[in-house]
Amino acid sequence: MKVVRSWLLSITMVITMGGVLFTTAIPQVAFAADACNKGFLGFPAWYRGLTDGDCNIKSPGDDISGFVWHIALNCIEIALVSVAYIATFFILYAGFMMIVNSGSSDIVAKSRQTILNAVIGLVISIAAVSIVNLIAGII
């Protein structure tokens, strides 16, 4: 049973880290075509979707609520991407602590719990970014 649990944890970590790298790489490719809306390390620009062809922010005109919603959703996505980076840091930190302190069962248990919590937070963050992008696409 311990071997199965160990393999399952290893596969989960590999999939999670691959997912983090995948979600970090995708927005840069998508933004490369539009020089106005370039992000940095997967963070979207706060004005994404609000520019004209000359990289100027469009006037909201009569649709002030849509303008504000675009800015709010972009800011929410920025916060969620930062949460994903923080969760990734905690996974790496807890893994390092687990490797370094493999003799102490208390620290290993604490590290496992930290990794589990970080993975749960990462999954929630990635799902939330998907939902925000879906809503932004509808608006």
Q: How do residues 101-115 score in pLDDT, each as one tens digit?
A: 877 888 888 888 998
User: What's the maximum distance between 2 C-alpha atoms anywhere in the chain?
Assistant: 65
Q: What is the chain's mean pLDDT, rounded? A: 77
Range of the domain at 116: 2-138
Per-residue confidence band for 12, with pLDDT thresholds at 50, 70 and 90:
confident
Note whether 115 and 91 are within 8 A (CB).
yes
Domain total for the chain?
1
HEC-encoded secondary structure of the chain: CHHHHHHHHHHHHHHHHHHHHHHHHHHHHHHHCCHHHCCECCECCCCCCCECCCCCECCCCCCHHHHHHHHHHHHHHHHHHHHHHHHHHHHHHHHHHHHHCCCCHHHHHHHHHHHHHHHHHHHHHHHHHHHHHHHHHHC
Question: Residue range 89-97: average pLDDT?
Answer: 89
User: Does residue 31 surpass a pLDDT of 50?
Assistant: no
pTM of structure: 0.60
Crossing angle of helices 64-100/105-138, nearest 10°?
Answer: 160
